[in-house]
Structure 1
Amino acid sequence: MILTSRMIRRLLQAIAVLGVIGLASGTAYAQAPLATADIIDTARGHGNVVSLTFDDGPNPADTLRLLSVLRQHRVKAVFCLWGDHVVEHPKVVRAIAAQGHTLCNHGMHHDDMGAWTPAQIEADLLQTSAAIRLAAPGVRIPYFRAPFGSWGQTPTVAARLGMQPLGWRLAVADWETPGTPELVRRLTEGITPGAVVLLHDGGGDRSQTVDAVDTIIPMYRAQHWRFTLPARPQRHA
């Protein structure tokens, strides 16, 4: 049986409802033991470390080329997935997971959740996670990033669902498509030790971003920088 996009959306709506019921009865997804409501914006490790994160995918043309670049340079990154795009391009989600990259929930429809109630946020995040797991069964989704950086009450809800809120220290406005040389300039002038960098592989033509990433990785490697995942949260006493 071939599932159409409409059938998948109906299935996801049902899964989201069941997920909310599960939360009320204590049978929802188990929390990650280290998830907190703190917004993480630092890279793991000490010294010259940096984390690359990519929002708004999957986007077949640019995401697949980005995966090739990251594989060539042996870099692992975080992909913050837009639920609608996950439903449209499940094979790309599987490709991301198969290469060992980390997945992040970025909302089902890329809505501004800043003024949403916890119940509204839960329903959206559960639907998004269900879409990701339908595309790539068994994957972990350890992070959540709020669309537009509009956090509202999302950090608390995400942590309760086992996802660490993931922020950033550097965004270079790659959605402006200013040209690869300009993106390289913004990155090299903006990256500092321990930074989580926000880039995009979806939401438009991101070929310039992919080219910029392909340029900066060897530049920083030559200066003995390491590309790591975001830091783990600190538990509060």
Structure 2
Amino acid sequence: MKEDQQSNPGRRAMLRLAACVGAAATVHVLTADPAESPVSPAKPRPAAGPQVAGAPLKPSAYRLRPMTAYAPPKLRPARPPVRRKPFLRMDAPGRTMVLTFDDGPDPRYTPDILKTLRRHGARAMFFVCGEMAVDNQDLLREMVDDGHVIGNHSWSHPLMPKLSRSRIRSQLERTSDVVEKAVREAPRWYRAPYGAWNRASFEIGADLGMEPLGWTVDTLDWTEPGSSAIVRRVRAGAGAGVVVLSHDAGGNRSGTVRALRTYLPELLDEGYRITVPHA
């Protein structure tokens, strides 16, 4: 597979649908528009977790195992189909959750979040803003080195529906360029600032090879409610397939950092698998 990815740029673009194309027996991504969610007949991959009685995987290996299977290259189109709605949750065997962090990277808070995730062997998704990423490319590389997924959250966090198509493209394209320069791979996922999607952003995102991801649980950490309130919201919303929205920049995110230290080990102790939606 690694050889295929490096053989030509077109093949890399085709791989971008791997996060939402997989065997029905393994995992697929759910949207509010099921008719637009392709599920390929790929050969199922063993579900994460112990495979042989008496020989369980180490916790870190279990938690870091990605969610999806590889689909045959011939089933992958050159770019994702154009969505009308974002994906809102993940569907995977067992109790799987996805943690996402928006607006960074911020050297004041992102390193502590990365440290906590690393301590517990968990992967997350970071939807970065280009104007933050361009000056913190070392943090982008650290994310990728730890197995996290970098998503595109625009350049300067504008309301997309208020922009022209050319400005939307600039917002997304510039950010993807920064990420690709830093980690040698462009983002495969994007999230509209404020969750404000429109037809143009769906079309341009797809043209850049990205899938749109929303969220299931909003921690409202951007209101700076304190770590206890954030923990309560995650606990209340926890469930199989849930996508949690938090932020690692855009304000005082010390509460977000402290909350993660509390709820992440709790989720793992309750049997949740914290990982990312692509192989």
Same fold, TM exceeding 0.5? yes
Output the TM-score relative to the length of structure 2: 0.68
Q: Specify every segment of 5 or more residues in structure 2 that has no aligned partner in the other structure, as ranges.
A: 1-9, 18-79
1:151 matches 2:197: yes
Residue 193 of structure 1: which of 234, 237, 240 is its match? Answer: 240
Output the TM-score relative to the length of structure 1: 0.80
Give the 3-state SS of the residue equivalent to 1:123 in structure 2: helix
> Matched residues in 2 for 1:137 and 1:93: separation?
7
Matches within 5 A, 1:50-199: 50-134=97-181, 136-153=182-199, 154-199=201-246
The number of equivalent residue pairs is 204
**Residues 96 and 158 of structure 1, relative CA distance in 2, 3 Å threshold:** same
Matches within 5 A, 1:22-33: 30=13, 32=15
Cα deviation, 1:148-202, whole Å, max 9, x if unaligned, reads 1111121221112110101101101101111111111111012232111110011
> Matched residues in 1 for 2:197 and 2:216: separation?
15
**Residues 127 and 140 of structure 1, relative CA distance in 2, 3 Å threshold:** closer
**Residues 179 and 147 of structure 1, relative CA distance in 2, 3 Å threshold:** same
> Matched residues in 1 for 2:256 and 2:16: separation?
34
Query: What code does the residue aligned with 1:148 have?
Result: Y
Query: What code does the residue aligned with 1:84 have?
Result: E
Residue 210 of structure 1: which of 248, 257, 274 is its match? Answer: 257
Contact 2:97–2:274 under 8 Å retained in 1: yes
Contact 1:48–1:225 under 8 Å retained in 2: yes
> Matched residues in 1 for 2:278 and 2:224: separation?
29
1:39 matches 2:76: no
> Matched residues in 2 for 1:63 and 1:181: separation?
19
Q: Which has the higher helix share?
A: 1
Q: Shift of the alpha carbon at 1:228?
A: 2.5
* Structure possessing the higher relative contact order (Cα contacts under 8 Å, 6 or more residues apart): 1
Cα deviation, 1:98-126, whole Å, max 9, x if unaligned, reads 21210101001111112333333222211
Percent identity between the aligned chains?
35
Q: Specify every segment of 5 or more residues in structure 1 that has no aligned partner in the other structure, as ranges.
A: 1-26, 233-237
Q: Shift of the alpha carbon at 1:231?
A: 7.3
**Structure 1 partner of 2:44:** none
> Matched residues in 1 for 2:122 and 2:222: separation?
22
